[in-house]
Structure 1
Amino acid sequence: MQPLKANEIVGTWGTLLLPIGNDDSIDQELLSSEIQTLIAAKVNGIYSNGTAGEFYNQTEEEFELISQLLADACNAAEMPFQIGCSHTGPKQTLERIKRIRPLKPGAIQVILSDWFPPSRREILKFLEGVCNAAEDIGIVLYNPPHAKVILSPSDYAAILKEGIPLVGCKTAGGDAQWYTAMSALQDFSVFIPGHHLATGIRQGAHGSYSNVACLHPAIARSWYEDMKTDMEKALLFEVRIRQFMEKHIVPLIKEEKYSNQAVDKLLAWITGWAAMPLRLRWPYSSVTEEEALRVRDHCRDLLPEFFETVTA
């Protein structure tokens, strides 16, 4: 695949979730099947090794296996894909980038160094290094709400002004002022949470590495198509999606203390599109099946569309 330009990184991208067995191993057969299902759903792209892909809890051999499986399937299907090379250690991030560069992803995702909060000077040094290591492949900065340093629109502007060729970011979004400032950035793709996508697109965002695609990638893709042709319909659908997330998913995170990746796997389990187990890798806790069944009932009531048969 040719490297993606910023204006080509748009729409609903599906994350690659890791199917973890009872022995804590990765189910490679189920992982390959998941990739094919995402391709068949015609999402705008697929990415590996985000938080939902448990990038922080893989051996280097597993990282290479996951990356190879994704690249082989997506290159054969001409499906845009990104490989996450994030690591809490900056040197390991560089090594991961160098190893997967021959797989020709459309872009590479990284997080900022995470053990100690980097200064602005250190952030610039880190991003310059990863962009150099990636050569002609664009870098997307994954800056989640739990990062030790949260970048503002002015921070992104300063990075781009320094000539560091980031092609995009994955963020939590913001208010109207935030969108205005981010929209002023040139040749830069801004991705926000999936359940805010219609509102975000209307304010200038370009897409989402989508938790809604975790719930069902074909429905998420169809919803994005509605945003291009019937925004009012898409906004009405978002009201129900956000109602479900706020009433039934957010409390699992805030009150029950489950991780984001635990609820991402829950979302996939609810509709069963990927036959994804709820299990996270040791030592992290998975949502229990009892809780999952309860949430599934609420989802079916609020969002019956996600349980209907969808043709790609």
Structure 2
Amino acid sequence: MAMPMSASELRGVWGTVLLPLDPGDRIDLGRLRAEVDVLTRSDLHGVYAHGTAGEFHTLTDAEYDQVNDLLATASSAVGKPFQLGASHPLAHASLERVRRARDLEPAAIQVILPDWIPLSEAEVLRFLDRMAQVAAPVPLVLYSPPHAKTQVSPELLARIVTEMPAVIGIKTLDRDDDWFARMRELEDRCALFVPGHRLASALARGAHGSYSNVAALSPRGAAAWWRQMQTDPDGAADVERRIAEFFAAHVAPLAARGLGDPALDKFLAAVGGWADVGTRVRWPWVGAEESVVAPARVDARVLLPELVS
């Protein structure tokens, strides 16, 4: 069995598996295999499936297993670390996904707190304790998106990682300097992962990596940008400034229209052109129109030649 990943080992830029869909909303397995092949053979630190952008909330159990098996097989063939999300609005369904994901020996399993009714602190700990027991020896990463009904404060996170060392990281939104300062005492016990487009500035404040939307734009470029952060932080900060300019021009207007993370990340992948993912997202959600891709690609090549060539 693969060795479980520790908090100190969870680092870098991880790319997400996006779902190529046919006109009937079925997963196109041929296009999915080609996409996963690019991701697993890239310089990314790892690949994960079933974040929000991976449309986990739309998957049947059979589709969940299908994506897991494909990613596990491709990753194991080239020695690429991979993580599997086991998130689900229903706690018992999430627990069952943890059980099935564990058997594929991922580096970690991502879980989200149950979403319909907010949890008390005691209930958060009760939920994660059961998850950790079923996942063992595979560790957990807590996925805490901004729209989650139960938000995890630094104080609660400190209690989580103290009482449950199986939780080795948190995937969260961009945070301010005060949040990072309050998290500093946990840095050896909990990897802090932030949005990809703010990684350079967050890394300077104490973040450890990203489950990256920049990798959706370009796996190769996201990995190269990480290396630049280690050797040329000023240059990396300039890249972040230009990413923000590109996002303001092309991503923010789509988000303002109500398009969600799956649509935005698929749009970025279409702009980057590294895989045939397409912009279609599953009903009832709406994806970006193909017509907005070409103008964004022109601007990306001008603004971000390091990422998109």
Q: TM-score, normalised by structure 2?
A: 0.96
Matches for 1:58-69 after TM superposition, within 5 Å:
58-69=59-70
Q: Which moved more, 1:103-112 or 1:113-122?
A: 113-122
Alignment of 1:195-210 (within 5 A): 195-210=197-212
Name the counterpart of 1:87.
88
SS in 2 for 1:239: helix
Shift of 1:164: 4.9
What CA distance in whole angstroms lies between the structure 2 residues aligned with 1:297 and 1:257? Answer: 24
The CA distance in 2 between the partners of 1:164 and 1:265, in whole Å, is 34
Q: 1:211 corresponds to which letter in structure 2?
A: N
State the SS of the aligned residue for 1:129: helix
Residue 32 of structure 2 aligns with an amino acid whose one-letter code is L
The letter for the 1-side match of 2:195 is P
Aligned to 2:214: 212
1:17–1:53 Cα contact (<8 Å) kept: yes
Is the counterpart of residue 119 in structure 1 residue 120 in structure 2? yes
The 8 Å contact of residues 127 and 164 in structure 1, kept in 2 or not, is answered as no
Which residue is 2:192 aligned to?
190
Which runs of 5 or more residues in structure 2 are unaligned?
none
State the alpha-carbon separation in 2 of the partners of residues 78 and 89 from structure 1: 33
Backbone CA RMSD of aligned residues: 1.2
Aligned to 1:233: 235
Which runs of 5 or more residues in structure 1 are unaligned? none
Q: SS of the residue aligned with 1:12?
A: strand
Deviations 1:216-260 (A, max 9, x none): 000000000111111111111111011211332122112x11111
Q: Secondary structure at the match of 2:48?
A: strand
Counterparts of residues 230-269 of structure 1 (less than 5 Å): 230-254=232-256, 256-269=257-270
Identical aligned residues as a percent: 42
Residue deviations 1:78-97 (CA, integer Å, cap 9, x gap):
10100001111010111111
Taking structure 1 as the reference length, what is the TM-score of the superposition?
Answer: 0.95
| Residue 150 of structure 1, CA deviation | 1.7
Whole-angstrom distance in 1 between the partners of 2:294 and 2:129 = 46
Residue 42 (structure 1) shift: 1.5
Contact 1:192 1:200 in 2 (8 A): yes
CA distance in 2, matches of 1:242, 1:119: 36
Which stretch of the first structure deviates more once superposed, 41-50 or 143-152? 143-152
**Residue of structure 2 in register with 1:19 after alignment:** 20
Question: Which shows bigger deviation, 162-171 or 124-133?
Answer: 162-171
Native 8 Å contact 1:128 1:164 kept in 2: no
CA distance in 2, matches of 1:277, 1:225: 29
Residue 44 of structure 2 contacts residue 220 of structure 2 at CA under 8 Å; is this kept in 1? yes
CA distance in 2, matches of 1:262, 1:209: 16
Q: Distance in 2 between matches of 1:205 and 1:221?
A: 16
Residue aligning to 1:223: 225
CA contact (8 A) 1:248 1:298 kept: no
1:184 match: secondary structure: helix
Per-residue CA shift, 1:105-154, capped at 9, x if unaligned?
A: 00000110011111111111100010011011110000011111221211
Counterpart CA distance in 2 for 1:24 and 1:245 is 27
